[in-house]
A and B are shown apart, each in its own frame.
Chain A
Amino acid sequence: QLEQSGAEVKKPGASVKVSCKASGYTFTSVGISWVRQAPGQGLEWMGWISTYTGNTNYPQRLQGRVTLTTDTSTSTAFMELRSLQSDDTAVYYCARSELPDAFDFWGQGTMVTVSA
């Protein structure tokens, strides 16, 4: 129900934009959260976007470096992360969620590798 774009390899300082295409439900009926997981590490919430209004909510740690957007015409959500560093190497997931509910469906994940 959530299909993510393919793996990316980026150089330090670059940006990456990951997509998450929804199907099987009304896209604007529930928001999308993004979560990342560095190799061998736990889950980190990166932010949430209302697919209905476009309102966003970001954690302080990533504020100013991450931007969440949507394209309702294609039922697709996007996560852009700028000024990439090696510790941004992780699997990035999108997941359906409405604040403060649980994430009931997840995308398959997108591996982003940051390496010189």
Chain B
Amino acid sequence: SYVLTQPPSVSVAPGRTASITCGGSNIGSKGVHWYQQKPGQAPVLVVSYDSDRPSGIPERFSGSNSGDTATLTISSVDAGDEADYYCQVWNHGTDHYVFGPGTKVTVL
């Protein structure tokens, strides 16, 4: 089965940039989706297909994907960005969705 890896945690000072990675074999050939989940809430889609932002998501959220690593970048981080972030792909080999284990972003 296809496995995604994420760092368990990322810490960032307010106003700085947070980068959250999602690793997988040749993930650059897949479309990666990213979700933000705050405590007690349902996940929210923040980036789809590597770098597309849904309506209502700030431009501060951006994504990239190449080789074996996809990255979600949050610029000018503020306290409201504290959350767990999950990457997701569709694995064509098994025709199933796969989620990464999640990364907790802490704003210092």
Contacts and interface: CB of A to CB of B under 8 A. Distances in A.
A33 B37 CA distance: 17
- Count chain B CB atoms within 10 A of each CB in A33, A44, A103, A104 and give the residue with the most: A103
**Size class of A's contact patch?**
20 to 34
A106 B99 contact: no
B85 to A, nearest CB: 11
A24 interface: no
- Count chain B CB atoms within 10 A of each CB in A59, A100, A102 and give the residue with the most: A102
**Size class of B's contact patch?**
20 to 34
Contact of B96 (A57, A95, A107, A109): A57
SS class, residues of chain A in contact with chain B? loop
B75 interface: no
A96 B55 CA distance: 16
B45 A45 contact: no
B99 A43 contact: yes
A33 B96 CA distance: 11
A103 B86 contact: no
B28 interface: no
A75 interface: no
A85 to B, nearest CB: 21
B95 A57 contact: yes
Contacts of A106: 42-44
Nearest to A57: B95
A30 to B, nearest CB: 13
Interface string A30-62: 000101000000111100100000000101100
Contact of B49 (A43, A59, A99, A102): A102
Interface of B: 31, 33, 35, 37, 42-45, 48-49, 54, 86, 88, 90, 92, 94-102
Interface of A: 33, 35, 42-45, 48, 57, 59-60, 93, 95, 99-104, 106-109
8 closest A-B pairs by CB: A100-B90, A102-B33, A102-B48, A106-B42, A45-B97, A43-B99, A42-B102, A42-B101
